[in-house]
Amino acid sequence: MDIKIDRGFNVSEATNGFEAYAFDKVQKYFDHYTFLQSVQIYLRGQKHPTKKVKLRMNLKGKEIFSEAKGYKHHDAFDNALTKMAAQLAKHKSKRYSAA
């Protein structure tokens, strides 16, 4: 499991809770999808009124991306993760279906 969070700003107490939240959410995907190798999470700066989160997941032989906006980083992360979950399910059904 390789999870990296890249911020465009200094870490404050307000964003420390996000790290634990993100690790907990992403860990479930590592448990469910064995082909998932690493995840990078990019956050837009904390002073911008609309928060933006970009996700990049490295799979065996492929990279997939998603991004979403929200009023808080938690909301944007959840939206981006929902988009990513759909892509992971589609990739699994195409590559790893029992036929």
Q: Is residue 30 part of a domain?
A: no
pLDDT of residue 86: 94
pLDDT of residue 13: 45
pLDDT of residue 3: 75
Q: Find the CATH number of the domain harbouring 7.
A: 3.30.160.100
Q: Is residue 88 part of a domain?
A: no
AA identity, residue 31? D
**DSSP, residue by residue, 36-98:** EEEEEEEE--TTSSSEEEEEEEEETTEEEEEEEEESSHHHHHHHHHHHHHHHHHHHHHHHS--
AA identity, residue 93? S
Residue range of the domain that includes 66? 1-18+36-71
pLDDT of residue 8: 58
Give the number of domains in the chain: 1
> What is the tens place of the pLDDT at every residue in 7-50?
655 554 445 688 889 888 999 888 888 889 999 999 886 778 88
pTM: 0.81
Q: Is residue 55 part of a domain?
A: yes
DSSP element (H, E) containing 21: helix 13-32
pLDDT of residue 34: 86
Q: Is residue 78 part of a domain?
A: no
Mean pLDDT within 65-80: 93
